[in-house]
Amino acid sequence: MTLALLPASLRPALDGRLPAGIDARWWGGPEELVALAPEAEIGWFDLHEKPAALTAIARAQRLRWLNTSYAGVDWMPLSDLAARKVALTAGTGLTTAQVAEFAVLTILAVAKQYRTVVRAQDRGEWLFPAPEGMRDLAGSRALVLGNGAIGQAIGRALTALGVEVLAVSRSRPRGWRHQLGAFDWIVLALPGTPETRGLIGAAELAAMKGEAVLVNFARADCVDQDALIGALTERRIAAAVLDLTDPEPLPSDHPLWALGNAHVTMHLSGIPTPASQRRAAERFIANCARFQAGEPLEAQVDLARGY
């Protein structure tokens, strides 16, 4: 029997459906996960707070396959997993629609100054004239950095709203910087890798036009956050939407909270929903059969590349 250590929260979706030969044990919290980890040959160690998950990975020396429903795996010890010959599967594609919906929601909210509208409603104030800074998406231009599933979904939605979209894949990272001044929306939907770290820094922010909005649904370290705070404070760009920040959660006195043109969405876009959890469970069940048969696993991470 192959022992699989799995989250108790997914037991209703998985129990009784795993292939014969896989013995499931269920962990219900960080302490139980860490305690049981040394027994695991298959692991699913997802926790929002990462220290216990990392401790479990380090203790799970019998591990042969680690599964996660997170799309980003840059928080994991990839080189250690590679040295131990542990296969890693990620949540690539599981939350594509919900992240894209969230991204387009925030772009529309900035374009229509919806934050101002909601606050006026809270005050019982009828706004007239319309809030300053309202704009149309139709006829605007967006640069989408990252042409994977999420980037493509964002691009399709924006195109349907009349936005002219230029998508740049991670395998073709050059050639877009000299065009930055031509775009109203710069959308980041890239994986977190050493190559994407610091992708948007002071020089890139300076190249954007004053009406530009930076929209980050990639990784916090893709953006030089201090340089961005400076650009927002001095109104050198119009606004930023930040689903990712450093640190997370942001301290209550962090300067980003006080900036009226910073829209912090608290890493909510990829939070598991019932639908995405069902998709994660179905993929895991199918991958169990592949694992037993020695076949390639769906959504397996290239540990050298980080995605």
Q: What is the residue extent of each domain of the chain?
A: 2-94+272-293, 96-264
pLDDT of 88 above 60: yes
Does 2-94+272-293 match 96-264 in CATH topology? yes
Instruction: Average the pLDDT over 109-129 and give the result.
Output: 96
pLDDT for the residue numbered 171? 59
Architecture of domain 2-94+272-293: 3-Layer(aba) Sandwich (3.40)
Q: Which two tokens stand for residue 83?
A: 């040295």
Which H helix or E strand runs over 69? Answer: none
Share of the chain above pLDDT 70, in %: 98
Superfamily of segment(s) 96-264? NAD(P)-binding Rossmann-like Domain (3.40.50.720)
The pTM of the full predicted model, rounded to 2 decimals, is 0.88
Q: Cα separations (Å) of 221 from 51, 112, 285?
A: 19, 28, 33
pLDDT (tens digit, 9 = 90+) per residue, 15-34?
999 999 999 999 999 999 99
- At 174, the pLDDT band (50, 70, 90 cuts) reads low
Which H helix or E strand runs over 66? Answer: strand 65-67
Which three-class secondary structure state does DSSP give residue 15? coil
Which three-class secondary structure state does DSSP give residue 23? strand
- At 173, the pLDDT band (50, 70, 90 cuts) reads low
Collect all residues with Cβ–Cβ distance below 8 Å to 171 and sequence separation of at least 6.
Answer: none
